[in-house]
Amino acid sequence: MSSPPSRPRQLIIRGITRSGRAFRPSDWAERLCGVMSPYRPGGARTGVGAHIGYSPLCIPRVIDGVKCVIVSEALRDVEPMAWDFVVNFARDNELQTVEGPLPPDVAA
């Protein structure tokens, strides 16, 4: 009997720096997800309304009162440079990150 396929792991980028300060600007999560919106399974959307909406692979959320961005590891398969961009964004801005499966209470 084979085991079910594992879900892609998640990277949660928290809007708190390693020194404990809130990251600014306050809309950083929405901006980052907006930049990542074209990177989605099946490629970028086209047509009317294509510019509206986030990629399901990179979504903003508030977790425990902190703005966060939840990035699916599947983004790496869709566009490796986009994955590197978000990982480097978190590192360069000294943001706290958590890796692992997404907790069920945070699921979209």
Q: Per-residue confidence at 58, pLDDT binned at 50, 70, 90?
A: very high
pLDDT at residue 102 in the model: 62
- Quick one: fold of 10-39+53-99? Alpha-Beta Plaits (3.30.70)
Q: Domain residues of the chain, as ranges?
A: 10-39+53-99
Q: What is the pTM of this model?
A: 0.81
Report the pLDDT averaged over residues 48-74: 87
Tell me: pLDDT of 45 over 60: no
Burial tier of 42 (Cβ tally within 10 Å: 0-12, 13-18, 19+): exposed
pLDDT in tens, 94-104: 999 999 776 55
Task: Tell me if 98 sits within 8 A of 14, measured CB to CB.
Answer: yes
